[in-house]
Structure 1
Amino acid sequence: MKTEYKRPHVMIMSEITVDGKLTLKKGASSKILMKYMDPKTDILLHKTRAEYDAIMVGSNTIRIDNSFLTVRYVEGENPVRVIPSSMGDIPPESNVLGKDAKTIIAVCKKAPQERVDAILKKGAEVLFCGEDRVSLPLLMNILATDYNIKTLMVEGGPTLNYYMLQDRLVDEIRLIHLPFIVGGADTPSLVGGMHIDSEEEMFHLALKEYYMCGSNLVTEYDVNYSE
């Protein structure tokens, strides 16, 4: 059963290799693989950003990739950037703290005040969402209720993707398939998190669209949560 409280419509969008990996190895930037995307797929990614009210990635992605999360290859408005970071450990030189788009950093109540002050000094907003760690359901509710964010795109790593799915906050998934196999037992894949114990815990998807975008296959799925 889907959540009943108010929240944005959420889509995860990601590039993945044939074996489902996001990067070359643990700790490597996803930008290494993204440079092999067809230029038309780059345009699709930025077009999608322009269509959504907000874009979200985790703090680890920010530390590794230092992304801008802005619209650059098409005409359109930059989405609001949302970064869950329980302890507020966002490097002060992070590109998402620039003035080219509105940025919201979500922290828990235990985040050190000096980190919160450093984020505020850079011009970003800080939301307190949870006691010991960021509550993603609460964050989604605040974004929808207080910021009128109706649609949110997630370009996150495996941990954020897992918890968004675990909390039943994802409506659809769009994947850009890269024709590579990178291997590696600990190489980050689309979804990380905890191991499941049975098939009843699997996240069920329904394929709704597939097409070529330049030389890349793109697949689109609805997420179907069991009762």
Structure 2
Amino acid sequence: MSASRPYVTLISEMTVDGKLTLKRGLSSKIIMGLMDMESQRFLHKKRTEFDAIMVGSNTIKIDNSILTNRLVEGRSPVRVIPCSDASIPPESNVLNHDAPTIVVVSSKADVNKVQAIREKGADVMVCGDSHVDLDLMMEGLVKKGIKRLMVEGGPTLIWLLIKKQMIDHIILIQIPYIIGGDSTPSLVGGPGVDSIDQVVGTELTGFYKVGNHLITEYDVIYSPNGK
């Protein structure tokens, strides 16, 4: 981690076989419904510990996430949505007034869509020309006082952050079910690595049970062969 970006923690629920939903294009809220109340409270409590929470725009379009703390005492984090073309629907839940929201766009984003987002009360950050520049975005978030950033998804955004060596810690909430499926989305998407010397390592830092769910925590190690 450098001073130019927040400390980033990936927190995600997934099945025993690493799946995030039933089928590609379906909401992850379906399998989140399999989480017991204790583990749901755990997730919401974690949200209160961060300055901001981030998911990709495709997750917003599919899940219509709210991204607030609703189950325990404590504040909700600032919601951060990278969306290069400003195409998230104006009626998205993250554009309500339950918590502040920052939508990060590129300079090529449609001005009318950007204006529609601003009219909903969200802050719009322009970072990058044709696509959101993650380095510029992180620098901008630091300038806004965001020092601890929680990432909940989706798979493409997680891959891009890992590729940029921007995820520092991982907390996984294991849902005790198996879904299978060759094309069913898993935790990390994108093209993946091409050779064994590009793999990203992790170091197990903790494991414990919350309700009926195993929680595992890892530090991410960015070095050849993960060593």
| TM-score bracket for this pair, using the shorter chain length | over 0.9
1:195 Cα offset (Å): 3.1
1:97 Cα offset (Å): 0.3
1:74 matched to 2:72? The reply is yes
Report the number of matched residues: 224
How far apart, CA to CA, are the structure 2 residues paired with 1:174 and 1:129? 28
Q: Which residue of 1 aligns with 2:108?
A: 110
The answer to whether the Cα contact below 8 Å between 2:204 and 2:218 also exists between their aligned partners in 1 is yes
Structure 1: any 5+ residue segments left out of the alignment?
none
Q: Which residue of 1 aligns with 2:131?
A: 133
Deviations 1:68-94 (A, max 9, x none): 101110111110000000000010110
Other structure's SS at 2:97 match: coil
1:48 Cα offset (Å): 0.4
Q: Which residue of 2 aligns with 1:180?
A: 177
Q: Which residue of 2 aligns with 1:149?
A: 146
Q: Which residue of 2 aligns with 1:32?
A: 30
1:5 Cα offset (Å): 4.7
Q: Which residue of 2 aligns with 1:158?
A: 155
1:1-227, aligned counterparts within 5 Å? Answer: 4-144=2-142, 146-226=143-223
1:41 Cα offset (Å): 0.6
Structure 2: any 5+ residue segments left out of the alignment?
none
How far apart, CA to CA, are the structure 1 residues paired with 2:69 and 2:184? 28
The answer to whether the Cα contact below 8 Å between 1:137 and 1:169 also exists between their aligned partners in 2 is no
How far apart, CA to CA, are the structure 2 residues paired with 1:151 and 1:5? 12
How far apart, CA to CA, are the structure 2 residues paired with 1:155 and 1:74? 18
TM-score (norm 1): 0.96
CA RMSD of aligned residues (A): 1.0
1:13 Cα offset (Å): 0.5
Q: Which runs of 4+ in 1 moved over 2 A?
A: none
How far apart, CA to CA, are the structure 2 residues paired with 1:128 and 1:186? 33
1:63 Cα offset (Å): 0.6
Other structure's SS at 2:67 match: coil
Other structure's SS at 2:153 match: coil
Other structure's SS at 1:155 match: strand
Other structure's SS at 2:104 match: strand
What amino acid maps onto 1:213 in structure 2? V
1:186 Cα offset (Å): 1.2
Identity of aligned residues (%): 54
Deviations 1:33-71 (A, max 9, x none): 011112111011000001100000011110111111011
What amino acid maps onto 1:59 in structure 2? S
1:196 Cα offset (Å): 1.8
What amino acid maps onto 1:75 in structure 2? E
The answer to whether the Cα contact below 8 Å between 1:18 and 1:181 also exists between their aligned partners in 2 is yes
